Amino acid sequence: GAVVSQHPSWVICKSGTSVKIECRSLDFQATTMFWYRQFPKQSLMLMATSNEGSKATYEQGVEKDKFLINHASLTLSTLTVTSAHPEDSSFYICSAVGRGGVSTDTQYFGPGTRLTVL
């Protein structure tokens, strides 16, 4: 139980293009989803928190117009990196907290998406 998937697992794109990353909770309802970014040998940095059906809350320093987050259903959240630049290259990881046979205190993480912007 408590499986979270991400798609794609890796993506390479040209500078200036937009990339969408999907995060799905497969066997539970995700009332809250989180998006993190992790640079090599660094800790996970929280980018934003999204609750189903409402606007995401972004952490300080994260541009909401650049990192568009949509949480339209209880099982799906998407992160779109708009006009990506090489400095956006990173490992993006989502997590979910939910209900339906899972602990409400625990974040369940997806496998991550490696974004490389050329």
Partner 1 sequence: SQKIEQNSEALNIQEGKTATLTCNYTNYSPAYLQWYRQDPGRGPVFLLLIRENEKEKRKERLKVTFDTTLKQSLFHITASQPADSATYLCALEGYSTLTFGKGTMLLVSP
Nearer to partner 1, 19 or 108 (CB): 108
Residue closer to partner 1, measured from CB, 12 or 15: 12
Minimum CB distance to partner 1 smaller for 22 or for 82: 22
DSSP code per residue over 18-58: -EEEEEEESSSEEEEEEEEEE-TTS--EEEEEEETTSPPEE
Q: Is the peptide bond before 8 cis (omega within 30 degrees of 0)?
A: yes
Q: Is the dihedral of CA 115, 70, 75, 44 positive or negative?
A: positive
**What is the nearest approach in angstroms of partner 1 to the Cβ of residue 105?**
6
CB of 2 to partner 1, least distance (A): 8
Minimum distance, C-beta of residue 16 to partner 1, in the bound complex (Å): 26
DSSP-derived secondary structure letter, 59? P
CA distance 81 to 18: 5
Binding site for partner 1 (CB under 8 A): 4, 6, 32, 34, 41-44, 46, 49, 91, 93, 95, 103, 105-112, 114
Give the nearer residue to partner 1 in terms of CB position, either 50 or 75: 50
CB 53 → partner 1: shortest distance, Å? 17
